[in-house]
Amino acid sequence: MKSDPVPQITKTTKLPQAHILHGVFAFTVLLGYIVTFSQFDIEPFSPVGMALIAICLIYIVIGTFGFEWVERQDDRRWYVVYFAVQIALVTLAIVISPYFAQLWLIVLPLVSHAVMALPPRWTPVILLFTIMVFVYPSEILAEGEGGIGNFLGISSGVVFVGIFTHVLAQADRARGQMQQMAERLEGMNQQLREYAVQAEELATTKERNRLAREIHDSLGHYLTIINVQLEAARVVLDTDRDAAYQALEKAQSLAKDGLSEVRRSVAALRASPMECRPLPVAIEGLLEECRTAGIQGKLQITGEERELPAQADHTLYRAAQEGLTNVCKHARASSVKVQLDYAAEGGITLVVEDNGVGVNLEKMEEGFGLFGLRERVHMLNGRVTLQSTAPKGSSLEVFIPV
């Protein structure tokens, strides 16, 4: 069987009118002593009077400054010490003075302190304890039936002081809680503002990276092919003017296509380079540009062609475009093959393979195009693999889970 829990003394928030409460404490105690001394003709310099005055001063000093000091401590045991000392002083005053009928006033400040220190649910216990321990013995036991009126009056005063202090303490606790909530809310608002700034910076960075990839993959591709055509025209200009004119016309056509795509991208910022074409058809268009540059291109499809998510379609197209652009710029290849495997387990695989001079991967510096491609594929949880053995050509493989 569990025993009743011991009431825990809670650390309260000091009321904002603490200096006023200190004054009320001292005034109430002094009033009780003055009434007692004047009404019952107790000599101040008699042993009883001197003892009562000493107890009064000690009680006032401890109640005025001790309770405030105890409130600032983290150890709740100081509350126990405080109330034990004050109750002892009150009891000593009762024992010394033969006239407790007016001296009960000094108990009221202690009731207020107890209500402030203990949890709100203990307020009735505090009031009942005060009435039964201090008021009842002095008015009922000492005076008998004639003291019932005084008992009821004094008890009403104790209850009034307790309830009034309880209301003040509750209001002060509520203010403290509201202040803490306001501080926490301000802290949360500050965090939200910081998160908003970070999110904005992240979104801006992602958009910049996206635009950089688009510029590289679209405009960079067209400029590379145009450069190849112009170089071819320059080579054959003196020996084969018809071929030179064809190369120049192709370069001009590519320049127009590139300019149109730039305009679309600037207008919408999400222009699709595939123009609603199936992925194999769009890749075949890239291979035709390679053939125009003098590189034989072939598309090999494995498995049953199927519709892919738009982002996967777009990424695979950009992967083929990046691979073929690098073949035209660096590989010095005579042929290139693009494999599109729809039957790959768990996704789709694209491979761009050429018969060029290859590259030393250990010494190769990865350019922005390949870096941007890895970013695109990584966002789809895919992988990019680059293999090359000089002088046997290179192979770019991209896998995207679908």
Amino acid at 166: H
Does residue 352 sit in helix, strand or coil? strand
d(CA 135, CA 137): 6
For the chain, list the domains and their CATH numbers. Answer: 18-185 (no CATH), 277-402 (3.30.565.10)
Count Cβ atoms within 10 A of the Cβ of residue 255 and give its class: 0-12 exposed, 13-18 middle, 19 or more buried: middle
Give me the pLDDT at residue 338, please: 95
β-sheet bridge partners, residue 398:
350, 384
Instruction: Please state the length of the chain.
Output: 402
Give me the pLDDT at residue 2, please: 45
Regarding pTM above 0.85, the answer is no
pLDDT in tens, the chain (402 residues): 444 454 555 444 444 454 555 566 666 666 666 666 665 566 666 777 788 778 878 887 887 788 778 878 878 788 888 888 888 887 787 777 765 555 667 777 778 778 877 787 888 887 888 778 777 776 665 554 556 776 777 777 778 777 877 787 777 778 878 888 888 888 888 888 778 777 777 777 777 777 777 666 667 777 788 888 888 888 888 888 888 888 888 888 888 777 777 776 665 555 456 666 889 998 998 898 888 888 899 999 999 888 888 888 889 998 998 899 888 888 888 999 999 999 888 899 999 999 988 887 777 777 777 888 888 899 899 999 998 877 778 999 999 998
Which conformational region is residue 340 in: left (phi greater than 0), alpha (psi within -120 to 50 degrees), or beta? beta
- The answer to whether the bond into 391 is cis (omega within 30° of 0) is yes
Secondary structure in 3-state letters for 120-188: HHHHHHHHHHHHHHHHHHHHHHCCHHHHHHHHHHHHHHHHHHHHHHHHHHHHHHHHHHHHHHHHHHHHH
